[in-house]
Homo-oligomer: A and B are copies of this chain.
Amino acid sequence: MDNIKRVEPRTLSGFMELLPQDQIKFNEMLDKIKKTYELYGFLPQETPIIESSEVLLAKAGGETEKQIYSFKKGDKDLSLRFDLTVPLAKYVAEYYNDLTFPYRRYQVGKVFRGERAQKGRYREFYQCDIDIIGDGKLDIINDAEIPSIISTTFKNLGFTNFIIKINNRKVLNGLFDELNISEKMTDILIIIDKLEKIGMEAVKEELRKIDVKQENIEKIEEFLNISGTTDEKLDKLSKLGFKSEIFKEGLNELEEVVKYVRLFNVKEENFMIDLTIARGLDYYTGTVYETNLKGYESIGSICSGGRYENLAGYYTKKNLPGVGISIGFTRLFYNLKELGLLDDSKKSISKVSIVTMGVGLENAVKISNVLRDNNIPNEIYKEDTKIKAKLNYANNLEIPFVIIIGEEEVAKEKYTLKNMITGEQELLAIDEIVEKIK
C-alpha cells in the first residue's frame, strides 16, 4: 500500500460535517422537529434529491437559478433540489388523484444551493417543512394553526424566548392599492424587507430612488410605525379607514388569524403582529410568518413561511392553495452552537460499556443481550488492552456506566457496575443492573 498516491482528506467548505457529540445533538433536535410535526398529524413525504431540470426549474429564475447545481448525465438535464416546495408542488400535481385533501405533509431533507461561501451559510443544508394544501380552497383557520405548530416545535426544542411575527401581504398590498402605487408593489416589498437590516432612513432613501412620492413615503413610514399591543395594532389598522378591498380582506384575515392563534394556545409573549414583515421575494399572497429568538435577532428568522394562493400552477390547472413554514435547520444548529445555546449536557449513544478482564466474554454477551432486550443501548469493549484504555474509551464517548467483568464477577455471577460520573462502584446481579440503569 505504501507507494500509493494519497489525496488529502477534506470536506468542501459550505458543507456541514460534525463530530459524534454534535451529531447526536443534531439528530436529537431533528427528531424532535419530526415528532412535533407528526403530533399535529402531518404525513411524512420524501421526494428525490435529483429531479429533471425542466421540472425543477419550471418557475425558477434570477438569483435562484444561478445557485442551482445542474448537470448532464447521458442525455438528461438534471438538477439537485434547492428547496422542498417545488418538489412538493410537483408531487401534489403528479399524485393529485391518490392524495386526500387537505394534504398535510412534512418533509425533512437536504437541499442544495451553490451560494457564495460565508460564515454560517451552507451549500447543502436541511430544511424542515410543513405545508397544508387544499383542493380549491383552504380555511383561514389553517393559517392560525401554523403559529401553534411553530410554538410547540421550539418549546419541544427547549426554547421559550421566541417570537412569531405575523403579517398579511394583502394588508401591505392594500396600503399600496390605497396609495395608488400597486404597480411598484414588488420593488417596495423588497425594500421593506430590508428594514431591520438597513433602518428606516435607508428604506426611505431607496423608496425615493424608485420614484415613490414623498407624500406616499411618509404614509408608508407612518404605516410601518404603527405600534402597540396586538389588539391596539388591529384597532389602529381598522381606524385608518382605507377603502381598498384588498386591504379590508387582509385586515379581516389578520383579525381571524389573531383570534384563532389565541385559541390555539399560543402565548401572548410568543407572537405579535409585525407590519414590516413582507417576504417580498417569496410567492406568498396572504398571511406571512417570521420567527426570531429574542435577544438573538442578528441570526435572522429561524422559521418562516406563509399562505400562497396556488402551489402548483406550473404543473397543473388544479387550484391548490396552501400554507406552510420552513426551518432552515443546518443554519439554526450552526448559530445555536456559535451562541452557546445548544443543550450542553453530555451525550452518548451507549449507556453502558461492558469490559472483560481476560475472562467472562460469555457473561458479557449475556449481559449485553439482556440490556438490549430492555432497550438499553450498550456495547462490549473487545480489544485486548489495559483496563485504563478500556475505561478511557467510555470516558471519551461520555458513556455513563461501565460494567467490569473479572474472575470474581464470573464466579459470583455478580458484576461491577461503575458510574463513570461519580466513580461509584457496586457489585450487582444482572437484573439489579438493569433496574439501576433504567
Binds B, one of A86-94, A202-210, A292-300, A336-344: A86-94
A195 to B134, CA, bound (A): 55
**Is A375 on the interface with B (CB-CB < 8 A)?**
yes
> Per-residue 0/1 for A115-143: is the Cβ within 8 Å of any B Cβ (1 yes, 0 no)?
00000000110000000001001110110
Is the pair B11, A51 in contact by a Cβ cutoff of 8 Å? yes
A302 to nearest B CB, angstroms?
A: 21
A315 to B5, CA, bound (A): 9
Is the pair A315, B7 in contact by a Cβ cutoff of 8 Å? yes
A73 to B78, CA, bound (A): 14
**Is A55 on the interface with B (CB-CB < 8 A)?**
yes
**Is A217 on the interface with B (CB-CB < 8 A)?**
no
A393 to nearest B CB, angstroms?
A: 6
> Per-residue 0/1 for A34-45: is the Cβ within 8 Å of any B Cβ (1 yes, 0 no)?
000011111111
Task: Say whether, besides A38-B377, A41-B378, A100-B397, A124 and B48 are in contact (CB < 8 Å).
Answer: yes
Give residues in A with beta carbon < 8 Å to B: 1-2, 4, 6-12, 15-20, 23-24, 26-27, 38-52, 54-55, 58, 69-74, 76, 78, 89-91, 93-95, 98-100, 102, 104-105, 110, 112, 114, 123-124, 134, 137-139, 141-142, 145, 152, 260, 263-265, 310, 312-317, 349-350, 353, 361-362, 365, 369, 372, 375-380, 382-384, 393, 396-397, 399
Task: Out of B4, B315, B350, name the residue touching A6 (CB < 8 Å).
Answer: B315
Is the pair A114, B315 in contact by a Cβ cutoff of 8 Å? no
A25 to nearest B CB, angstroms?
A: 10
User: Which has the most chain B C-beta neighbours within 10 Å: A6, A7, A142?
Assistant: A7
Is the pair A313, B141 in contact by a Cβ cutoff of 8 Å? no
Across the interface, which residues of B come within 8 angstroms of A263, CB to CB? Answer: 361-362, 365
Is the pair A382, B139 in contact by a Cβ cutoff of 8 Å? yes
Across the interface, which residues of B come within 8 angstroms of A26, CB to CB? Answer: 46
Beyond A9-B55, A10-B55, A145-B382, 18 extra complex contacts between A and B, CB < 8 Å:
A6-B58, A9-B91, A9-B93, A11-B47, A12-B50, A15-B50, A20-B105, A39-B376, A39-B378, A40-B377, A41-B349, A41-B379, A43-B349, A69-B73, A104-B379, A142-B382, A260-B361, A264-B365
A380: nearest chain-B partner, CB-CB: B145
Task: Say whether, besides A314-B4, A378-B41, A382-B139, A51 and B365 are in contact (CB < 8 Å).
Answer: no
Across the interface, which residues of B come within 8 angstroms of A73, CB to CB? Answer: 69, 114
Task: Out of B48, B71, B383, name the residue touching A12 (CB < 8 Å).
Answer: B48
A42 to B378, CA, bound (A): 9
Is the pair A396, B100 in contact by a Cβ cutoff of 8 Å? yes
A406 to B9, CA, bound (A): 65
Across the interface, which residues of B come within 8 angstroms of A313, CB to CB? Answer: 1, 4, 6
A322 to nearest B CB, angstroms?
A: 13
User: Which has the most chain B C-beta neighbours within 10 Å: A8, A23, A353?
Assistant: A8
A19 to B12, CA, bound (A): 35
A138 to nearest B CB, angstroms?
A: 7
Is the pair A20, B39 in contact by a Cβ cutoff of 8 Å? no
A74 to B392, CA, bound (A): 45
Across the interface, which residues of B come within 8 angstroms of A99, CB to CB? Answer: 19-20
A39 to nearest B CB, angstroms?
A: 5
Is the pair A312, B46 in contact by a Cβ cutoff of 8 Å? no
Task: Say whether, besides A124-B49, A124-B50, A90 and B9 are in contact (CB < 8 Å).
Answer: yes
